[in-house]
Amino acid sequence: MVDNIIKLLEKYEPNKEKQPFLWALYDGFHTFLFAPNHVTKAGVHIRDNMDLKRTMIHVVLMLQLCYLFGTYNIGHQHFLALGEYTGFLEGAHLKLMYGLWQLLPIFVVTHVVALGIEFYYASKKGHSIEEGILVSAALIPLIMPPDLPLWILAIGVAFAVIIGKEAFGGTGMNIWNVALLSRVFIFFAYPTEISGDEVWVAGLESTFAGSAVEYGWVHLTLFNGLFGWLGLAQFDPGLTVIDGFTGATPLALAFAGGWDAVTEVYSQSQMLWGAIPGSIGETSKPLILIGAIGLAMLKIASWRIMLGMVLGTVFTGMLLNFWGATPFMTVPWYHHIYIGSFLFAMAFMATDPVTAASTNRGKWIYGFLIGFFGMIIRILNPAYPEGWMLAILLMNTFSPLIDHLVLRKNIQKRLASA
Amino acid sequence: MLMKQKTSKSFSIFSTLMLLLLFLPSNVLAQSSAGSPDFIMSMVVATVIIVFGAIIFVTDSLLQLEGKRQLEGKDVKVDASLFPKNLNGNAADLPSYIPKDRYFKLRRGFDINLEGKPEEKIIDAPQVTRYSVSPMDFYGIAPIPKIVPEEGDAVLAGDELFFDKRNPEIKFVAPVSGEFIGLERAEKRAVKEVMILADKEIKFRELPHLDINVAERADIVDFLKKYGGWVHLRQRPFDSIPNPEDVPRDVFISTFDTAPLAPNLNFATHGEEAAFQAGIDMLNKLTDGTVFLGLDGRAKEVPSPVFTNAKNVEPYWFKGKHPAGNVGVQIHHIKPIKKGDTVWYLHPHDVIVLGRMLTERRYNTERLVALTGAEIKPNVYAMVRPGANMGELLSAVQFQEENVRLVSGDVLTGKKKSRDGFLGFFEDQVTVLLEGDYYEPFGWLLPQEVRPSISPTFPGFIFPDMEFRADTNAHGERRAFVVTGQYEEVLPMDIYPQHLMKAIITNDFERMEGLGIYEMSEEDIALCEFVCTSKMPLQQILREGLEIVNE
């Protein structure tokens, strides 16, 4: 069976010299279906079953819960703004389909752009497809606001993959986290599209009371036709945004008015479980924690970085509590753990092994400093009340320096005893 | 005493839980008044945790009481607690034969638990007719040495076969008597094998008497160089044949092997007390420093008296997973190699060969070689000499599979051989394993069998005693360095292997030295190569680095 499929595949193998792009596609597909028959040559005769494909797929698997919740939450936030189906499970089919229809284009555009560029560079340089791009492409939709225009997304992804990764030589060589680079590109190039209160809820003209919803043919004809046939509730194009709705994230509220301003709008359990506006994948803390613990236990992500980051955040949070000059500074440090995207950044962004510090001691320092700078930027930055993206990119830049210092200590110890 | 420790341990877990409880609701209380849903929720969680903690605490205590009752009056140590502590885990539980002040416990490492471990049985020596000495088994000699006998000449065991033109006094001698039947050459006419058709009865060249107690160092050096003993010495750094002008700082001997399917040296050196001691005495004359002995501190069995009763040595005990038995790791912990240092190391079998040159007055390399691997049955020991023909050596056992790879040595550092190939000069092990030249559907996601791995993404780690039948499939393609920290996990040395590798790749001479390349050898990095997610050829890279710094 396996042999026959292999033979069939080999019949259609494109010429690597003449059709490099097709060959890269073919090779990627082939190694995806079948672990290759390479045997060890020099050196060790047996190899661990672990390879980069398996490492990467585990990160993607750990993200799936965030995807599931994120999809649903897009729909949930949409209907909250309209004042319909305010219970979390009410109108579940509408919320799910709405979220799916919002998320799928983001997901597809990200993957087409990222994989297209990776395939192109793989064929140009003659190496096989590197799996790291799949993780980046799986992470990018989760850190984007749900209402982001797709063309901006495409430009952001292309920038991150070409300038942030391929320009440095591909997987394993990049200095900055590719997913965050796409986010930071959009953040600085199109600031109005990714900040403010309006971007976190999808499908509204604006967040002011009375503005109309934006439903398309798919919602009104396809989905409504389907739901009507099934006898379920349908999308109502006549709904408008209710009075008193704010699309503001807890961080924006906390920045303006401290912890009381936050709890006026969102309850603690709402923020913990994630039924709040925000980037697609970062709202539900328990599901992110499952991913984080899973990655740490499977030894795919470094628990040192995660723990270091928690310590850094707690330490800085306490420090700023003590200072307490602005309303945001007075928000108790333990609330900072679950408002905003701290946990998502900790589990999936800071732990990227390529851009993080690579020595064990360095990982502690790296994690701690991300926590420190992340809190400083989150609380003291007047323009934008979130800091992990910038803190992680900052520490990505300095992680070689941290490693250098750790290694220098090792070298000096060796030389001193000589 | 033991029980008291256990109780306190589970109590500490319990009290941690309690502390957590005090802490958890206090956050909530700070924000919400009693009666709010959050408060009730946290009280529920707190109750659940208390109940669970109490159940665990009571169960643990009861189990320990029951264990204590059943073992009343018996001299057995069993940990009945829910959280069993490794009984040999700390120095307090060391067996009495291991002195605490000479004991190293290495936490990092990994034992690759393969099928096909050698039983402690010796089969009748298979009739091996062809032997060879391969210049390629030695580092630091020219690829085309000067061959001494003519083709067809008869040689005795211990007669000169060839020498390196740069060091003509160091002789490589015949392991057996018989007829010199010629060379096998590799690329660029490099000599691969120097072959002898062996006699049925081995005839030895008689060596002159050397009284080790009165001999000068120079006499011993000349004796060894002339009669073939010198090439059994290996030098760190570089693993090369030592330069006769150098006096080594120290000499190191590791008396146990932790590599996969490794032979049990306690068994394989049985009854060689006299020869081993003679070898040690000779080494003591050759160094101004100390002869260090690395002993097996894993407390599975008491090391052989050959090692424990050796005199004029400094013993150190090592406990740990592979590579704790590697001499390089032991040197790192006993007395690290610094820049400019030269130390020597020998395999115990080579010490015995040197000793026999004094006690038997002949060059006798006979040793017990373990025939290991799941693809041959039975897995036993055979008394042969290094350089034996692999096909003939393995004629004594049954092959279970056709498509196999023969390895002279262990699966991490051994060399691939054909049936016409020969056992390596320093080897005491043959491994036969399955060739892995197959395609596996979705092998990267759902492998069809359990394979050895350090990754907890495979269920193998749940069953630490499980034996694996490994094959030579690379399980993936080569990639750039991505994953960090996994080499460190299996290398019990204060070295950053990944950064060292990068320094070698970028040809950064000073960094290589600083990061400790002099302390490393291929066998020490081999386990890192096994675990490498990016399938990097680390042993090859390290050897290139060693050659760069050697120049």
Output the DSSP codes for B425-472.
Answer: TT--EEEEEE-----EETTTTS-SS----S-TTSGGGG-TT--B--BS
Reported as half-sphere exposure (CB side, CA atoms, 13 A), residue A323 has a value of 15
Interface membership of B462 toward A (CB under 8 Å):
no
Residue of A nearest to B486 (CA): A299
Strand partners, B377: B398
Q: Do A35 and B442 touch (CB under 8 A)?
A: yes
State the Cα angle at B341 between B338 and B346, rounded to 5°: 110
pLDDT beyond 80 at B84: no
Q: How would you classify residue A112: left for phi > 0, otherwise alpha for psi between -120 and 50, otherwise beta?
A: alpha
Q: How many helices and strands (H and E) does chain B possess?
A: 14, 22
Interface membership of B374 toward A (CB under 8 Å):
no
pLDDT for the residue B355 = 94
Within a domain: B439: no
Q: How far apart are CA A261 and CA B422, in angstroms?
A: 80
pLDDT beyond 80 at B43: no
- Same domain flag for B70 and B130: no
Which of B405, B472, B534 lies nearest to residue A52, judging by beta carbons?
B534
pLDDT for the residue B314 = 93
pLDDT for the residue A309 = 95
Within a domain: B542: yes
pLDDT beyond 50 at B359: yes
Amino acid sitting at position B487: Y
**Helix (H/G/I), strand (E/B), else coil: B234:** strand
- Same domain flag for B219 and B288: yes
Q: Is residue A366 a contact partner of residue A308, using CB atoms and an 8 Å limit?
A: yes
Query: A417, exposed or middle or buried, with CB in 10 Å at 0-12, 13-18, 19+?
Result: exposed
Count other Cβ atoms within 10 Å, centred on residue B68: 14
Interface membership of A361 toward B (CB under 8 Å):
no
Phi (first) and psi of residue B422, to 5 degrees: -130, 150
Tokens for A310, please give them. Answer: 């928690």
Sketch the domain layout of chain A as residue ranges.
Answer: 1-47, 54-247, 250-418
DSSP β-ladder status, B251-254 and B234-236: unpaired
Interface membership of B107 toward A (CB under 8 Å):
no
Measured N-to-C along each axis, helices B348-359 and B217-227 cross at an angle, to the nearest 10 degrees, of: 100
H runs (alpha helix) in A190-230: 191-194, 217, 224-230
**Helix (H/G/I), strand (E/B), else coil: A303:** helix
Instruction: Give the minimum alpha-carbon distance from B97 to chain A in angstroms, rounded to a whole number.
Output: 32
Instruction: Give the minimum alpha-carbon distance from A274 to chain B in angstroms, rounded to a whole number.
Output: 16
User: B232: closest CA among B398, B428, B3, B37?
Assistant: B428
If contacts are CB pairs under 8 Å, which of residues 429-448 in chain B contact chain A? Answer: 431, 433, 435-445, 447
Within a domain: B430: no
Q: Do B482 and A354 touch (CB under 8 A)?
A: yes
If contacts are CB pairs under 8 Å, which of residues 126-145 in chain A contact chain B? Answer: 128, 130-132
- Same domain flag for B135 and B76: no
Interface membership of B403 toward A (CB under 8 Å):
no
pLDDT beyond 70 at B76: no
- Same domain flag for B280 and B350: yes
Q: Do B474 and A358 touch (CB under 8 A)?
A: no
Residue of A nearest to B42 (CA): A269
pLDDT beyond 90 at B78: no
Q: Do A52 and B474 touch (CB under 8 A)?
A: no
Q: Do A45 and B338 touch (CB under 8 A)?
A: no
Residue from A50, A133, A165, A173 whose CB has the most chain B CBs within 10 Å, to mutate: A50
Q: Do B439 and A34 touch (CB under 8 A)?
A: yes
pLDDT for the residue B466 = 83
Domain encompassing residue B173: 122-359
Q: How far apart are CA B192 and CA B185, in angstroms?
A: 5
Q: Which residues of B407-431 are buried (b: 16+ CB within 10 A; e: fewer)?
A: bbbbbbbbbbbeeebbbbbbbbbbb
Within a domain: B115: no
DSSP code of B87?
A: T
Q: Is residue B483 a contact partner of residue A351, using CB atoms and an 8 Å limit?
A: no
pLDDT for the residue B24 = 53
Residue of B nearest to A331 (CA): B31
pLDDT for the residue B15 = 61
Query: A247, exposed or middle or buried, with CB in 10 Å at 0-12, 13-18, 19+?
Result: buried
Q: How far apart are CA A280 and CA A290, in angstroms?
A: 17
> Per residue in B181-232, pLDDT tens?
989 999 899 999 999 999 988 999 999 998 888 889 999 999 999 999 999 9
Residue from A2, A29, A41, A48 whose CB has the most chain B CBs within 10 Å, to mutate: A48
Amino acid sitting at position B153: D
Per-residue pLDDT of chain A (418 residues; tens, 9 = 90+): 778 888 888 888 888 788 888 888 888 888 888 888 889 988 899 999 998 999 999 999 999 999 999 999 999 999 988 888 888 888 899 999 999 999 999 999 999 999 999 999 988 888 888 888 999 999 999 999 998 899 999 999 999 999 999 999 888 889 999 999 999 999 899 888 777 677 788 888 887 888 888 888 888 889 999 998 988 888 888 888 888 787 788 888 888 888 888 888 888 888 888 888 889 988 899 999 999 999 999 999 999 999 999 999 999 999 998 888 888 888 888 888 888 889 999 999 999 999 999 999 999 999 999 999 999 999 888 777 788 999 999 999 999 999 999 999 999 988 887 6
Interface membership of A125 toward B (CB under 8 Å):
no
pLDDT beyond 70 at B11: no
Q: Do B112 and A46 touch (CB under 8 A)?
A: yes
Tokens for B419, please give them. Answer: 């049936």
**Helix (H/G/I), strand (E/B), else coil: B181:** strand
For every residue of B530-546, which 3-state class applies, written as one string?
HHCCCCCCHHHHHHHHH
With bands split at pLDDT 50, 70 and 90, how would you rate the model's confidence at B1? Answer: very low
Q: Do B340 and A40 touch (CB under 8 A)?
A: no
Q: What are the percentages of helix, strand and coil residues in chain A, rounded to 5? A: 65, 0, 35
**Helix (H/G/I), strand (E/B), else coil: B377:** strand
pLDDT for the residue B32 = 44
Q: Is the pTM of this model over 0.80?
A: yes
Tokens for A159, please give them. Answer: 């920038």
DSSP β-ladder status, B291-296 and B314-319: parallel
- Same domain flag for B487 and B547: yes
Interface membership of A269 toward B (CB under 8 Å):
yes
Q: How far apart are CA A49 and CA B487, in angstroms?
A: 15
Q: How far apart are CA B335 and CA B325, in angstroms?
A: 16
Q: Do A36 and B453 touch (CB under 8 A)?
A: no
H runs (alpha helix) in B152-269: 217-227, 265-268
Reported as half-sphere exposure (CB side, CA atoms, 13 A), residue A135 has a value of 27
Within a domain: B93: no
Q: How far apart are CA A56 and CA B118, in angstroms?
A: 38
Q: Do A36 and B439 touch (CB under 8 A)?
A: yes
Interface membership of B539 toward A (CB under 8 Å):
yes
Q: Do B31 and A268 touch (CB under 8 A)?
A: yes
Interface membership of B38 toward A (CB under 8 Å):
yes
Q: Is residue A103 a contact partner of residue A71, using CB atoms and an 8 Å limit?
A: yes
If contacts are CB pairs under 8 Å, which of residues 49-68 in chain B contact chain A? Answer: none
Interface membership of A352 toward B (CB under 8 Å):
no
Q: How far apart are CA B291 and CA B269, in angstroms?
A: 19
To the nearest whole percent, how much of chain B has pLDDT over 70?
Answer: 89
Question: Which chain A residues are within 8 Å of B336, Cβ to Cβ?
Answer: 414, 417
Residue of A nearest to B37 (CA): A269
pLDDT for the residue B17 = 61
Calculate mean pLDDT across residues B292-304: 90
Q: Do B414 and A45 touch (CB under 8 A)?
A: yes
Strand partners, B296: B318
Q: What H or E segment, with its residue span, contains residue A235?
A: none
Interface membership of A411 toward B (CB under 8 Å):
yes
Mean pLDDT in chain B?
Answer: 87
Phi (first) and psi of residue B170, to 5 degrees: -85, 115
pLDDT for the residue B85 = 58
Residue of A nearest to B540 (CA): A43
Within a domain: B468: no
Within a domain: B47: yes
How many contacts, defined by CB atoms under 8 Å, are there between A and B?
220
Q: Do B475 and A35 touch (CB under 8 A)?
A: yes
Q: Do A299 and B473 touch (CB under 8 A)?
A: no
Alpha-carbon torsion B490, B495, B498, B501, what sign? negative
Q: Is residue A140 a contact partner of residue A114, using CB atoms and an 8 Å limit?
A: yes
Instruction: Give the minimum alpha-carbon distance from A302 to chain B in angstroms, rounded to a whole number.
Output: 8
When comparing pLDDT for A350 and B69, which is higher? A350
Strand partners, B295: B317
pLDDT for the residue B87 = 46
If contacts are CB pairs under 8 Å, which of residues 147-206 in chain B contact chain A? Answer: none
The residues, ordered by sequence, that sit 6+ positions from A37 with a Cβ below 8 Å of its Cβ are: B436, B437, B438, B439, B473
Which of A131, A172, A410 lies nearest to residue B494, judging by beta carbons?
A410
DSSP β-ladder status, B415-417 and B398-399: unpaired
Q: Do A34 and B515 touch (CB under 8 A)?
A: no
Q: B37 vs A268, A338, B43, CA distance in Å?
A: 10, 18, 10
- Look at chain B and report how many structural domains it folds into: 3
DSSP β-ladder status, B376-377 and B291-296: unpaired
Q: How would you classify residue A320: left for phi > 0, otherwise alpha for psi between -120 and 50, otherwise beta?
A: alpha
Question: Which chain B residues are within 8 Å of A414, Cβ to Cβ?
Answer: 336, 338, 514-516
pLDDT for the residue B21 = 53
Residue of A nearest to B471 (CA): A46
Residue of A nearest to B532 (CA): A48
Alpha-carbon torsion A36, A120, A111, B532, what sign? positive
Calculate mean pLDDT across residues B146-166: 92
Interface membership of A34 toward B (CB under 8 Å):
yes
Tokens for A9, please give them. Answer: 């595949």
Within a domain: B99: no
- A181-195, B182-196, B281-295, B492-506: least confidently modelled range: A181-195
